[in-house]
Chains A and B, each alone.
Chain A
Amino acid sequence: MTQEEFVREVQINQGIIQKICRLYCQTQPDREDLFQEIVVQLWKGLPKFQGQSKFTTWIYRVALNTAISDFRKKKRAIPIAVAEVALLEGRNESSQDESEEQFNTLYVAINHLPEIDKAIVMLYLEDKSYEEMEDILGINTNNLRVKMTRIKDKLRQLTKSISHGT
């Protein structure tokens, strides 16, 4: 794959990377840093990609591996509570529609989950099958189903309490 082709592929699939950055970083500068780091890791890992799995599966693996094991000090570490107040207050100031509100609430709720649960819920929301999730995460399908049930319960409680402002 040439550099041009690679850039095109990244551009097509950048939604995956953007969502991962948004899930794992609280601030815009951190998101941009992580996005860049993921692109660099994808480019460096490209020669090793042998096409045994789907290209998107490989992107998920590299992006999640980079995001989860990124132990750098964040540029501006904002506590979750402060970040979510900013996110949720934003909806009142502007005339954003209901779906935007729901989307922000969902993000805030997912932000409360542990790193691995964030990855699981993201893949679930991206409509990945349990087999694909197993291929990305390395957790067997049965365990994933159990985990997903627990996460859904947790998310339901979280979104409820966030919506009610508790």
Chain B
Amino acid sequence: MKNIWHDKSGETTGPDKIAAMLSRRSHNPIEKMRRNLRMELLIMIVMVGGVAIYYFIAFKSEYSIIGWAYALLLVLFGYYFFRKNRLLREMQCSSCRIKSNLELQLRMLERYVRFYLLSGTAIVPILFIFLGIVLYHKKPALISKTILYPSSTNPVWKFLLAWLILLIVSTAIIWVLNRGYVNKLYGRHIEKLKQLVLQLSE
């Protein structure tokens, strides 16, 4: 077998072609995920930051509390992106031994998926609180006479209970949807990595 293997000389790639490859982008899935994450962060900064600045300046700063709520949302998103980016950065070690690299990938991907699921679900109560602040201050006609807004005919406990029920139901639905989505996105990757680690350990 060794003789057959060594007898055959392979194809060759010239130095110019190799040098040209160095300036190209990596197609590695993790690198792609990091690039997408940076783009998402940029979009969030521009959009949420823009709205926050608008509420700080417009309406003679009457609604600056909404501006602060948006700013807080941006900080939370900032943490979310920072954590995801760190997990992705630590996910691979190409120059490590194959076994430790695959084990690392599996461990970090499972952690990443857990964080994805948790943060994707936690966003619901955060958005509810955020929406509550906005609606309370803007008092839109659409809901000001419903159970979702406190008034003389709608006591606070009823209003709170209505929001709580809405929050629990929404969070549960989002959690189920998120779990399915995350499984669809990363389930096969995780299974493949588990298989590879098993092959190495057998």
Binding site for B on A (CB under 8 A): 3, 6-8, 10-11, 14-15, 18-19, 22, 33, 35-37, 39-41, 43-45, 48-49, 58, 61-62, 64-66, 68-72, 99-100, 102-103, 106, 114-117, 119, 125-127, 135-139, 147, 155
Contact = CB atoms under 8 A, between A and B. Distances in A.
Contact of A125 (B5, B26, B105): B5
Interface of B: 1-2, 4-15, 18-19, 21-22, 24-29, 92-102, 105, 188-189, 192-193, 196, 199-200, 202
B118 to A, nearest CB: 24
B190 to A, nearest CB: 11
Contacts of A62: 94-95
Contacts of A71: 29, 188-189, 192
A65 B1 contact: no
A103 B98 contact: no
A131 to B, nearest CB: 13
Contacts of B26: 37, 40-41, 44
Contacts of B94: 41, 44-45, 61-62, 65-66
B1 to A, nearest CB: 6
Contact of B200 (A7, A40, A72, A137): A137
